[in-house]
Amino acid sequence: MFRKLFFRMGGCSSVFCGWVLSVWLCSGVVCAAAPEIEKLSLHGLRSGATTTLTIHGRELLSDSTVLLSVPVAFQFVRKESNDTRLHLDLRLDESTPSGIYQLRVANSQGVSNAVFVGIDRLPQISMSETLDTLPVAMSGVLSTTQTVRSSFMGNAGDQVVVEVEAKRIGSSLDPVIELLDPRGILVAWSQGMRSLSGDARVVATLPVEGSYQVVLRDVNYAAKEASSFRLKIGDFHFADLVFPLQVQQGRQITAELIGRFSNTGQTITQSGTILGEVPVVQTGGSDRMSGSVPRLRVGIHPEVIEHRDNDKGLPIQIPVVINGRIEKESEEDRFVLAVEPGQQLRFDVLSQRAGTQLDGVLILEDEEGKELAQNDDRGRIADPGLDFTIPEKMVSLTVVLKDLHGRGRSDFIYRIAVNLKGQPQFDLNVTDARHHVPLGGAALVRVRVNRQGFSGPIELSVSGLPEGIAVTGSEIPASASETLLSLQGFGVHTTQGIMSITGEARVGKWMLQRRALLPSSEATQSAPWLRSELAVALTGPGKMAVGWLEKDTDLVLGQKHHSRIQVSRAAGLRGKIRLSLESSQSIPAKSAAVVPPGQPPQTGQPDMDRAIRIEGESTLGVDQTNLDVSIQVPGDLENIPYDLAIRGELLGEDDKTVIASAVTSARRFLVRHPFALTEIESRKVTAKAGEGTT
């Protein structure tokens, strides 16, 4: 369910933007900090069964619970828990899809950082040197030159999978797995695999009966201290890829899962909604599934699937996404495109970046079969791609894809995206993974947009907001690069949840939707959708509050905007409050022309003289409750709307240490000129070059 973001251009409602006169008190004056997770006893949870988990960290209060993006059927905090160790029994519904998830701790003081865990139907235990039964998932840590071993009994002909989750759960371990037979002879081994984001997996048939040993180590014997891992051993299933790799937004496809199953031909039905990468959810037969789930790309352009949509004999229209696979040795897949002279096209192949071993070569040919262009990689990008301008009189172009080494396998799948070069698009980014909203207060979410040939407005919406929190702000203005969303805490009790932000805009004939994403990490490479998860908590009241007292929302170029700010401290607190400005302005960089003679170049650094900023006195005295602040408006400020907010910091006795902070809700300000020109008389003016006054 989506909650639309509301913003009132002409003023603020009392619920969202009005000054809260009442002051919330903290127990004993000092408010506890949000919880923090340092480590877990297990990096896996078992769906359909109870897992006993110990969480080590700070501020793990008695009211703490585990927060996941999937429902928790039952959790019980054991009485031996304390502020640094949380012992609990946790049960997930048996229908919870297997995969990598983010686990957090939530309590009345907020929500913790996220740690990654694997969820499946495997029994979860700590690392053990001897295993009595399989399958099993063992959690442990490994550091520096350490090697860990575990043994199990096997019979000749048994199928065994050994897989480690390390990089996929945020570990620095670069794993190597070795499987040794009863004589200590190597049966199989694996290093980091592209399809597992650098983790390792062995699939083997045991040759004889006896005790087998699994050895896990870092590839360079240089793992950092306490590098966590989850080692899985047994006859379990996995899916690394999905074919086709992409679906058009709003369409539904029947897709093939590529991996290891008890029988062949695993298929699913999947729909495309929000543009980007989404997890493939298997609806049945998942009791033995484990590991990461495949990524399905969702795009706006029509899809063509080899051997299904390419047998009609008609040229393929552009833009298009072509999905296919190189199944046989020396195979070449060929597709004919309908083109127009002068078109500037961009070809992008996705294969190795999706986790396949296909080393693709992209070739363009004319109607006579003459090669026009070729590419097999692009520097740091392993997959081929190129830009090409259609020559005169050409109306069809043949696209050829093959493997560089002439290989072919059923998992050598690919996607070829063909677009007009420079097609407008945008991406949304956020930097903070968690946000704490005090009761009666506010928090800010800074949303940035990366515009690529698109300058229009972007409508924003939010999903997953817990009760008691509202959001103001509904769009990123045209040409703006940022906006400030305000989270307002109006509830009556603390609560937590996982929210996501979506931007929507019309670009030509396409309606584009994008999730706001956190920065990428090794752990999210195999699960990029986790980057859209933002933790939010409605916490206890803060130590202070800050609010606007005036309603003027005009910024006059080259002038000072005067705003009256009111603050309030919790009972028993005294101290100076330092004010600063939060702005959605993208501050211009300094140019060489403004650097004083003899000074080193400072190009690229923010030019604060061209920034919207507070000038003059910005600190309130110990007992002062309001202050008139002067906001300087640059004379060359771009004429677009800006979101501004005032942040207050309560200082200690040394006037430096920050005891607490609070922020106003963001308000949208409009830019206007200090004067206007009006024509009062129309007169013909004649001028001739070279005559009269210059």
Give the tens place of pLDDT for each residue, 52-71.
Answer: 999 999 999 878 999 999 99
Of 30-34, 404-408, 562-566, which range is least confident? 30-34
Verify that 79 and 188 share a domain, yes or no: no
Q: Which among 420, 454, 483 is the end of a domain?
A: 420
pLDDT for 285 = 53
Verify that 226 and 82 share a domain, yes or no: no
| Band of pLDDT at residue 14, cut at 50, 70 and 90 | very low
Verify that 272 and 396 share a domain, yes or no: yes
Q: Which among 96, 120, 144 is the end of a domain?
A: 120
Residue 154 counted as domain residue = yes
The Cα–Cα gap between 506 and 180 comes to 58
* pLDDT exceeds 80 at position 174: yes
Residue 218 counted as domain residue = yes
Q: Mean pLDDT for the chain?
A: 89
Give the tens place of pLDDT for each residue, 302-340.
Answer: 999 987 766 556 899 999 999 999 999 999 999 999 999
Residue 26 counted as domain residue = no
Verify that 255 and 377 share a domain, yes or no: yes
* pLDDT exceeds 50 at position 18: no
Residue 443 counted as domain residue = no
Residue 514 counted as domain residue = no
Find out whether 187 and 207 touch, Cβ atoms under 8 Å.
Answer: yes
Give the tens place of pLDDT for each residue, 371-391.
Answer: 999 999 888 888 999 999 999
Verify that 229 and 270 share a domain, yes or no: no
Verify that 283 and 296 share a domain, yes or no: yes
In 3D space, the residue among 145, 203, 141, 211 whose CA is nearest the CA of residue 183 turns out to be 211
Q: Is 677 exposed, middle or buried (0-12, 13-18, 19+ CB in 10 A)?
A: exposed
Verify that 153 and 283 share a domain, yes or no: no
Residue 425 counted as domain residue = no
Verify that 284 and 382 share a domain, yes or no: yes
Give the tens place of pLDDT for each residue, 639-673.
Answer: 999 999 999 999 999 999 999 999 999 999 999 99
Verify that 271 and 397 share a domain, yes or no: yes
pLDDT for 3 = 38
Residue 245, classed as helix, strand or coil, is coil
Verify that 351 and 251 share a domain, yes or no: yes
Residue 301 counted as domain residue = yes
pLDDT for 592 = 62
How many domains is the chain built from?
A: 4
Verify that 116 and 151 share a domain, yes or no: no
Could you tell me the CATH number of the domain that includes residue 79? 2.60.40.10
Find out whether 81 and 52 touch, Cβ atoms under 8 Å.
Answer: no
pLDDT for 690 = 78
Q: Which among 67, 92, 120 is the end of a domain?
A: 120
Range of the domain at 182: 124-235
Residue 520 counted as domain residue = no
pLDDT for 265 = 58
Verify that 309 and 362 share a domain, yes or no: yes
Could you tell me the CATH number of the domain that includes residue 227? 2.60.120.380
The pairs formed by 423-426 with CB atoms below 8 angstroms and a separation of 24 or more are: 423/319, 423/346, 423/453, 424/452, 424/453, 424/454, 424/507, 424/508, 425/452, 425/453, 425/454, 425/507, 425/512, 426/450, 426/451, 426/452, 426/454, 426/458, 426/503, 426/505, 426/507, 426/512, 426/514
The Cα–Cα gap between 109 and 62 comes to 11
Residue 523, classed as helix, strand or coil, is helix
Strands (E), 83-222: 85-92, 99-107, 110-111, 115-120, 124-126, 136-144, 147-154, 159-165, 175-180, 186-190, 201-205, 210-218
In 3D space, the residue among 580, 583, 550 whose CA is nearest the CA of residue 565 turns out to be 550
Give the tens place of pLDDT for each residue, 296-307.
Answer: 899 889 999 987
| DSSP track, 196-216 | GTT--EEEEE--SSEEEEEEE
pLDDT for 233 = 98
Residue 158: C-alpha distances to residues 13, 204, 425 (Å): 68, 8, 51
In 3D space, the residue among 460, 481, 430, 442 whose CA is nearest the CA of residue 643 turns out to be 481
In the numeric block, which tokens belong to residue 278? 């989404």
Find out whether 552 and 629 touch, Cβ atoms under 8 Å.
Answer: no
pLDDT for 474 = 87
pLDDT for 529 = 93
The Cα–Cα gap between 111 and 660 comes to 18
In the numeric block, which tokens belong to residue 341? 């002279």
pLDDT for 603 = 59
Instruction: Order the strands of the 201-205 sheet from edge to edge.
Output: 124-126, 136-144, 223-234, 159-165, 201-205
Give the tens place of pLDDT for each residue, 254-283.
Answer: 888 899 887 655 777 777 777 888 888 765
The Cα–Cα gap between 121 and 114 comes to 22
